[in-house]
C-alpha cells in the first residue's frame, strides 16, 4: 500500500505538505485533510494533489476526506485528477466533506461515509469589487458555478433533479451519513474509526452560519431544521473575511 498525506489548514515549519510511503503495489491512500487550495487558503495544494494522483500505479486509490471546503477552481482541478485516474477510486468521508470538499467525494467511483461524519452543500460565494457591470458579471459566474455543482450532485443522485439540489444549496444543507445515503450522495456507511494522521479542519461554526448543530439536514428538503439563533449571512461573511485575513480558513 502507498500512503500519501496531503495536509493543509495550518502550515508548520519544516513539515512537508506531501508525505509518501511506498509499501506495496496493491493500493494507495491520499489524505485530503484541511482546506482546499494552496494559494488562497494555504491548504491542500491542488498541484501536489494532482501530481500525487498521476504518480500512483496501484489499481485502487483511496481518498480520505476531512475538509471544510475551499477554493472552487482548486477543487475542480483535484476532481479532474481523480476522474483521470486509471483504476478504481474510493472516497472515504472521515469527518466532514463541506462545500467544495464534497466534490472530491463525488468524483470517486464509490463513496463511503463514516457514521459520524457530515457532508455540506451550498452556493458558490466570492468577494468582488467594481461597477454594476462587474458585479453583474460576477453574479453570472456564481450562478454558472451553482448550476455546474447542482448537475454534479444530481449525476451522483439522479433521483433528485438539479433544480432540487439548487434549493438545497441555497439553504446551506448539512447531511448526516444516513441522509446522504438515502438521497444517493454516498454508497455506504462505515462504523470504522478514521485512521490517525493529518490535520483537523477549522471550527466550522466560525465559517458557516448553519454549521452543526445549527443545521442538520435529512434527505428531504422540507425537513431541514434551522437554529433560530444562527448568525446572519452577513455576519458569516464578515467572520469568513476576517479568517481569510488571518490565514485561518
Closest C-alpha among 12, 14, 48 to residue 31: 48
The verdict on residue 82 lying in a domain is: yes
3-class SS of residue 226:
strand
Looking at residue 38, what is its pLDDT?
Answer: 83
In a domain, 128, yes or no: no
Q: Does some domain include residue 79?
A: yes
Q: Which domain holds residue 8?
A: 2-122+169-246
The answer to whether residue 56 sits within a structural domain is: yes
Residue 135 lies in a domain: no
- Answer yes or no: is 149 within a domain: no
Structurally, how many domains does the chain consist of? 1
Q: What pLDDT was estimated at residue 21?
A: 44
Q: What is the pTM of this model?
A: 0.74
Write out the chain's pLDDT in tens, 249 residues: 554 544 443 444 433 344 444 446 788 999 888 889 887 667 888 999 999 999 998 999 999 999 999 999 999 999 999 999 999 999 999 999 999 999 999 999 999 999 999 999 999 988 888 999 999 999 999 999 999 999 999 999 999 999 999 999 999 999 999 999 999 999 999 987 656 554 445 555 545 556 554 334 433 333 333 333 333 444 544 544 554 444 333
pLDDT, position 137:
95
CATH number, domain containing residue 232:
3.90.226.10
Residue 43 confidence (pLDDT): 82
Which grid coordinates are listed for 94? 472521515
Q: Has residue 53 been placed in a domain?
A: yes
> Residue 114 in contact with residue 131, Cβ under 8 Å?
no
162/151 Cα distance (integer angstroms) = 5
Q: Is the dihedral of CA 71, 103, 46, 28 positive or negative?
A: positive
HSE-CB for 125 with a 13 A CA cutoff: 18
Say if strands 27-33 and 60-67 run parallel, antiparallel, or are unpaired.
parallel
Contact 65, 94 (CB under 8 A): yes
pLDDT given at position 218: 38
Please indicate, yes or no, if residue 162 is contained in any of the structural domains.
no
Task: Map residue 89 onto helix, strand or coil.
Answer: strand
Alpha helix positions (H), 42-117: 46-54, 72-83, 101-106
Q: What pLDDT, on a 0 to 100 scale, did the predictor assign at position 24?
A: 60
Burial class (CB in 10 A: 0-12, 13-18, 19+), 7: buried
Task: Check if the beta carbon of residue 78 is closer than 8 Å to that of residue 51.
Answer: no
Cα dihedral sign for 81, 72, 13, 195? Answer: negative
Amino acid at each position: 500500500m502507498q500512503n500519501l498525506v496531503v495536509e493543509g489548514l495550518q502550515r508548520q515549519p519544516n513539515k512537508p505538505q506531501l508525505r509518501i510511503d511506498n509499501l506495496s503495489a496493491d493500493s494507495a491512500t491520499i489524505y485530503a485533510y484541511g482546506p482546499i487550495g494552496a494559494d488562497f487558503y494555504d491548504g491542500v495544494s491542488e498541484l501536489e494533489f494532482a501530481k500525487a494522483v498521476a504518480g500512483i500505479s496501484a489499481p485502487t486509490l483511496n481518498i480520505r476526506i476531512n475538509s471544510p471546503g475551499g477554493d472552487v477552481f482548486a477543487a475542480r482541478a483535484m476532481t479532474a485528477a481523480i476522474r483521470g485516474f486509471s483504476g478504481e477510486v474510493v472516497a472515504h468521508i472521515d469527518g466532514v466533506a463541506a462545500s467544495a470538499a464534497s466534490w472530491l467525494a463525488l468524483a470517486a467511483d464509490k463513496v463511503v461515509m463514516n457514521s459520524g461524519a457530515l457532508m455540506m452543500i451550498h452556493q458558490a460565494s466570492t468577494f468582488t469589487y467594481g461597477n454594476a457591470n462587474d458585479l453583474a458579471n460576477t453574479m453570472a459566474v456564481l450562478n454558472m458555478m451553482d448550476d455546474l455543482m447542482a448537475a454534479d450532485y444530481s449525476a451522483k443522485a439522479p433521483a433528485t433533479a438539479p433544480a432540487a439540489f439548487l434549493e438545497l444549496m441555497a439553504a446551506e444543507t448539512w447531511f448526516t451519513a444516513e441522509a446522504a445515503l438515502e438521497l444517493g450522495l454516498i454508497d455506504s456507511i462505515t462504523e470504522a474509526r478514521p485512521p490517525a494522521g493529518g490535520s483537523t479542519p477549522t471550527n466550522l461554526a466560525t465559517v458557516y452560519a448553519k454549521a452543526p448543530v445549527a443545521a442538520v439536514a435529512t434527505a428531504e428538503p422540507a425537513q431541514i431544521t434551522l437554529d433560530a439563533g444562527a448568525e446572519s449571512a452577513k455576519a458569516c461573511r464578515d467572520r469568513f473575511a476576517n479568517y481569510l485575513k488571518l490565514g485561518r480558513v
